[in-house]
Each structure stands twice: as C-alpha cells, then as structure tokens.
C-alpha cells in the first residue's frame, strides 16, 4: 500500500530587523522572494511590537498562508541563552523604555509560530552567509559602523553566542591623544572603538556630520586607522575568511582601500596568507546584500529556528 503524504505546505517566513529607530518587517523566503515589507518607527515597546505582529497577521489573513516561523535580528544587548529566564529579552539598552523588553515572548504570543532570535549584527552575519558575500566562508564577521559600532560572527555555520554575545565594537584601540584629542563618546568606555569611530563620534570630533566631510578630509584617514585596529584584532583572534563592513559611515570616501592597507601594515608580515599578501581586497569587503543584510538575516534566523525545533518538512 502506498504511503499517503499530506500535501506539503511551502514554507514562508517573517523577518524583523529590530532597530533603535525603526523596525523593518518582511515576509518571504530570501532576497529574490520578498512578498511584503513594512517600516515601523520604534516608539514604545508595546506599540512597536503590536504593529509588527499586526503586519504579519494582516499578511496571513490576506494570503491565507500561515507563517512557518519568524526571526528577529534585534538591537541589544539581548539575552540569547535559552535556559535563562530573560531569554529573548533586550537587557541593558540605554534606549528609554526598552530595557527588559520581551521581544521573543511578544512575537510568539502574537503569532504562535517558532521564533528565531539574535543580535542585529549576528543576524546580518547569518544573512550574508546564507545569501550574500559570506556563502561558504567560515568563520565570517559582519561589522556595522553607523550610529554605533557592532559586530557579529558566524563560526561553524552558527552565530557566535557565549558568555553573552560578541561586542566587538567596544574593544579598546590605541588612541594617540596628540593626533586625536577627541576624548571619545561611548557612555560606558569613553574612547573604545565605538567611542572614537561611530558616526556620532565623527560628527562631534569634526563639528559636522560624517556624510558632509569630503574626500581627502583628515577624518577619513583617522577613521580608517581606528577600524583597521579592529580588523587586525579580528584576523588575529578569529581568523575570519571574510569581514564585511557595512553601515552608513562606510560609504565615506576611500575608506576600504585605506582600511585594507593599514590592516596589512598592522599585521606586519606575521599573518601569512595569499589573501593578505594580495592586499585583503577579498577579505575586507562591503555587504553583498546592501542595506538588506539585517532583514534577510532575520529570515535566515526564522529558517534556523524551524530547523532547531525539528519542524523542517521533507
């Protein structure tokens, strides 16, 4: 007697790129199949999460197709340990009203599907590994340089979690106060990398928004020198096959060539690999998914949540 299979329901995922100024929500299965998208301003936690849930419910009602799972790539810091009582919460963010917000709980309660959850930058890293310039390149690092500096990493196919999660934007870098008297703007550390190299740090140091500073302005060489310090530290600690640098500041003129050159100088011939000798053009690169790394990463987190819960259909 032939086995009768139930008709397979094709998977479709929801993704939430949860940022401090906006939530970008999407429905689809990948970069070539985004079926709906919405931008929701980040206001109060309740209002913002309610609007995200409403967007997904409306899509399901309109199409008749239930979501298979939802993923959230979230600003943080966040709790990623599934055994912790605060799993899925935003923890110590200075963003008013958001500390202690239960993001996973709200999505699970509102939508009743598995929820994948990670930091915004771990999500973006996973998105680039799934569909962008990180395919087949492991370990892989995604770094964003914008209102803050944040980094995520994928090692052995999964975003890195541990004691907490990587916070590589807050490493300390050499700060020559003669060359750069700016004291740094990180509320926790002062002159950590974020305090010296974020968009707001650039604006405060030079008295003008980063995007208004022309090519050849000393801001860019200084910026490249700070970011190269982290690039060299990452090469030395994680040995990533590729590092993506995204975020608004990275559109600054000439940054990539200056960062690659300075990183190579800092490695000082000690790390020997053809990619280093070739000038790191294939190692330090812009995002393959443009501005969509985060929201597509959220879809990849949803996909991974289904696999983790053993619900993957054949």
Residue 170 binds Zn ion, judged by CB under 5 A = yes
Q: Residue 165 Cβ, how far from Zn ion at the closest point, in Å?
A: 15
Query: Measuring CA to CA, which residue among 91, 2, 14 is closest to residue 297?
Result: 14
22 binds Zn ion (CB under 5 A): no
Residues from 73 through 132 that contact Zn ion (CB under 5 A)? none
Q: Is 196 in the site for Zn ion (CB under 5 A)?
A: no
If binding is defined by CB under 5 A, does position 192 make contact with Zn ion? yes
- Of the candidate spans 4-12, 19-27, 191-199, 301-309, the one that interacts with Zn ion by CB under 5 A turns out to be 191-199
Q: Is 39 helix (H, G, I), strand (E, B) or coil?
A: strand
Contacts of 113 (CB under 8 A, 6+ apart): 14, 66, 67, 68, 69, 70
Sheet holding 69-74, edge to edge: 33-41, 22-30, 13-18, 69-74, 115-119
Size of interface with Zn ion, in residues (CB under 5 A): 6
Q: Which two tokens stand for residue 100?
A: 């202690």
Least Cβ distance, residue 178 to Zn ion (angstroms): 22
In the complex, minimum distance from the CB of residue 195 to Zn ion, in angstroms, rounded to a whole number: 5
Question: Which of 186, 258, 283, 302 forms a contact with Zn ion (CB under 5 A)?
Answer: 186
CA separation for the pair 15, 297 (Å, rounded) = 8
Residue pair 267/284 in contact by the 8 Å Cβ criterion = no
Q: For residue 32, which of 258, 289, 208 has the smallest C-alpha distance?
A: 289
Give the max Cα distance, the chain: 83
How far apart are CB 189 and Zn ion at their closest, in Å? 4
From the list 54, 110, 117, the residue with the least C-alpha distance to 86 is: 117
Query: Which of 22, 51, 161, 189 lies at the binding interface for Zn ion (CB under 5 A)?
Result: 189
- Among 216, 218, 167, 225, residue whose Cα is nearest residue 196: 225
The pair of structure tokens assigned to 175 is: 């700060």
CB 134 within 8 A of CB 241: no
Q: Does position 171 bind Zn ion by CB under 5 A?
A: no
Q: How many CB atoms neighbour CB 79 within 10 A? A: 22
Q: Which stretch binds Zn ion (CB under 5 A): 7-15, 79-87, 146-154, 189-197?
A: 189-197
**Residue 187 or 269 having the CB closest to Zn ion:** 187
Nearer to Zn ion, 114 or 195 (CB): 195
Closer to Zn ion by Cβ: residue 169 or 252: 169
Is 190 an interacting residue with respect to Zn ion (CB under 5 A)? Answer: no
Pick the piece of the chain touching Zn ion (CB under 5 A) from 49-57, 74-82, 102-110, 182-190.
182-190
Min dist CB 172 to Zn ion, Å, is 9
State yes or no: residue 188 binds Zn ion (CB under 5 A): yes
Minimum CB distance to Zn ion smaller for 79 or for 194: 194
Positions touching Zn ion (CB under 5 A) are 170, 186, 188-189, 192, 194
């Amino acid at each position: 007697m032939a086995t009768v299979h139930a008709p397979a329901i094709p998977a479709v995922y929801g993704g939430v790129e949860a940022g401090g100024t906006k939530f970008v929500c999407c429905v689809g299965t990948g970069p070539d199949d985004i079926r709906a998208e919405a931008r929701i301003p980040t206001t109060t936690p309740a209002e913002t999460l309610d609007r995200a849930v409403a967007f997904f419910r409306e899509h399901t009602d309109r199409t008749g197709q239930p979501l298979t799972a939802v993923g959230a790539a979230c600003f943080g810091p966040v709790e990623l340990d599934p055994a912790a009582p605060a799993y899925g919460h935003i923890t110590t963010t200075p963003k008013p009203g958001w500390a202690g917000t239960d993001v996973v709980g709200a999505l699970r309660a509102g939508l009743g599907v598995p929820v994948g959850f990670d930091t915004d930058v771990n999500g973006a890293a996973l998105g680039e590994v799934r569909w962008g310039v990180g395919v087949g390149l492991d370990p892989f690092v995604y770094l964003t340089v914008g209102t803050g500096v944040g980094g995520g990493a994928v090692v052995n196919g999964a975003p890195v979690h541990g004691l907490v999660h990587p916070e590589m934007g807050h490493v300390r870098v050499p700060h020559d106060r003669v060359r750069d008297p700016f004291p740094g703007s990180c509320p926790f550390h002062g002159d950590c990398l974020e305090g010296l190299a974020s968009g707001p740090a650039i604006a405060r140091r030079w008295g003008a928004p980063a995007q208004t500073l022309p090519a050849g302005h000393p801001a860019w060489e200084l910026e490249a020198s700070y970011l190269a310090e982290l690039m060299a530290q990452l090469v030395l600690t994680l040995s990533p096959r590729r590092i993506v640098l995204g975020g608004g500041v990275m559109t600054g003129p000439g940054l990539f060539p200056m960062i690659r050159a300075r990183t190579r100088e800092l490695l000082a011939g000690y790390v020997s690999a053809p990619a280093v000798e070739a000038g790191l053009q294939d190692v330090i690169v812009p995002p393959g998914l443009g501005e969509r790394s985060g929201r597509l990463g959220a879809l990849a987190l949803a996909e991974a949540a289904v696999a983790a819960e053993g619900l993957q259909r054949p």
